[in-house]
Amino acid sequence: MRQERGLHELYTGDPERADRVVFGRNAGPDRRGFLKGAGLAALGAAIGAAIPFGRYMPAGYLPVALAQDKKLVFPGKDGGLVLLGDRPLVAETPAHLLDDRVTPTAKHFIRNNGQTPEPVANADGWEIAIDGEVNTPLKLKVGELRTRFPVVSQPMVLECGGNGRTQFQPPARGNPWTMGGVGCATWTGVRLADVLRAAGPKPGAIYTAHFGADLHLSGDADKQPISRGVRLAKAMDPNTLIAFAMNGEPLPNIHGGPVRLIVPGWTGSASQKWLNKVTLRDKEHDGPGMTGTAYRVPVAPIFPGANHDGKGFRILESMPLRSIVTAPADGARLAAGTRDITVRGHAWAGDLTVRAVDVSVDFGQTWVRADLTVPANPFAWQHFAARLRLPAAGYYEVWARGTDSEGRTQPFAAPNWNPQGYGGNAYHRVAILVEA
């Protein structure tokens, strides 16, 4: 373990020097170094296997096999989740635990911004208010929501706005999500649109503001940990829900129960947990998480690492295209003689859909088009699978690259650097080893 940490430090500081020191390879003018001789042997020794496609590994690239993490311990949650922060509680799901088509509650990521509230005994008695630019302000109990409005139930992607943040270099500020700040659970609830219509939005209403019952980390009851909102059109989307159940069970406290918003395909922070109020506004919302560089990305790219106050940035609304390999697992050891593997995973693209997923086992030299399903319903993720050939024993990385319905593909490195690291949607990479 000590050695891994040393390597890690070296790579964070100066990746090209690390390559020279550790593996003896020089970056070419095109920034691709070639592993050979002693370097290839050294990297092979660190991983514990030969690397059949080693000559194609980009310079300054720390093989995914050398990562490290810590586990979550929480009742009802899978012990394989990785703890990113204990106060506020934040945990992500390693990709191989996201293999299910519908994410079980135990495996769904957690992102809290404030202190976690005490669980509520009588969920049906929980009250939410609809106010602001409406003709009839409403106060509704959860029990009434169920009886007054049609109930909808469907799997939809919920994803933290910062998913993929660790891809940014220089490091962006915030929770260090890899690719596991995402899940596709079945959400049950009523349409926010139906409830807003019951209140009657005034003609001037253009934006929502969401409020929850969690306490700010400082304990100040007058401060909200987070309060975001969306354009009215997104609030009126028939798939935007006030959800009271997750995978057929009452919504657990840790996931925002008794009720939360589900604003599918958009930054998770819009899906307010412990929801107690939605206010319609005649202008963009300005609560915590709406201003500065929070949940905002540059319109015109800025220099990576530059200081910026976020003026002129746009609000990150729809999440970008992403794909993850859920099998084989990162770090899987395959039996000697294995030459064919099935790779599978999911792909999603915020408000858009995914047109294609390609996978590679030779560091992107060649790609194989995967079979891809259509979404089960709007905002459900799509599943892909492909058979791949491994020519020899040794170390491989499975790379996945999606293309969205507008023809955009995932990039090799995180695009559009921004201070808080939103939109990192580089290829997902998984390390596997075929035993000699």
Partner 1 sequence: MLPAGPGRDETFYACVPCHSTQIVRRQGLSRERWAETIDWMVARHNMPALEAPERTLILDYLVQTFGPGAAAEGPRPFYTPPPRRNPFQTQ
CB of 113 to ligand HEC, least distance (A): 4
Region 35-64 residues binding partner 1, contact defined as CB under 8 A: 58-62, 64
Residue 20 is a binding residue for partner 1 (CB under 8 A): no
- Provide φ and ψ at 244, rounded to 5°: -120, 0
5 binds, among ligand HEC, partner 1, none (CB under 5 to 8 A by kind): partner 1
- What is the dihedral angle through the alpha carbons of 358, 433, 5, 422, rounded to the nearest 10 degrees? 10
Residue 69 is a binding residue for partner 1 (CB under 8 A): yes
Cβ distance to ligand HEC smaller for residue 173 or 387: 173
DSSP string, 183-237: EEEEEEEEEHHHHHHHH-B-TT--EEEEEESPBPTT--TTS-S-----BHHHHTS
Residue 88 is a binding residue for partner 1 (CB under 8 A): yes
Cβ distance to ligand HEC smaller for residue 88 or 402: 88
**In contact, 25 and 34? CB cutoff 8 Å:** yes
Count the residues of the shown chain that bind partner 1, applying the rule CB under 8 A.
55
State which H helix or E strand residue 347 sits in. strand 340-348
Contact segment (CB under 8 A) with partner 1 among 78-86, 195-203, 241-249, 314-322 equals 78-86
| Amino acid of residue 397 | E
Select from 99, 128, 395 the least CA-distant residue to 241.
128
- Three-state DSSP class for residue 135: coil
312 binds, among partner 1, ligand HEC, none (CB under 5 to 8 A by kind): none
Cβ distance to ligand HEC smaller for residue 88 or 345: 88
Residue with token string 């093989």: 63
Contact segment (CB under 8 A) with partner 1 among 34-42, 83-91, 247-255, 311-319 equals 83-91
Rg from Cα positions in the chain: 23
Residue 367 is a binding residue for partner 1 (CB under 8 A): no
Residue 389: Cβ within 10 Å count: 9
Contact segment (CB under 8 A) with partner 1 among 44-52, 195-203, 360-368, 406-414 equals 406-414
375 binds, among partner 1, ligand HEC, none (CB under 5 to 8 A by kind): none
DSSP state letter for 154: E
Rounded to whole angstroms, what are the CA distances from 263 to 236, 241, 296, 317, 323? 10, 7, 17, 10, 20
How do beta strands 138-141 and 127-132 pair?
A: antiparallel
Choose, by CB under 8 A, the member of 2, 303, 311, 389 that binds partner 1. 303
Cβ distance to ligand HEC smaller for residue 224 or 279: 224
Cβ distance to ligand HEC smaller for residue 143 or 287: 287
Region 152-181 residues binding partner 1, contact defined as CB under 8 A: 166-167, 169-171, 173, 175-176, 178
Residue 259 is a binding residue for partner 1 (CB under 8 A): no
DSSP state letter for 331: T
Cα–Cα distance between 333 and 62 in angstroms, integer?
Answer: 19
**In contact, 27 and 61? CB cutoff 8 Å:** no
What residues make contact with partner 1 under the rule CB under 8 A?
A: 5, 8-9, 11-16, 27, 31, 58-62, 64, 67-70, 82-88, 166-167, 169-171, 173, 175-176, 178, 216-218, 220, 223, 288, 292, 303-307, 412-414, 419, 426, 429
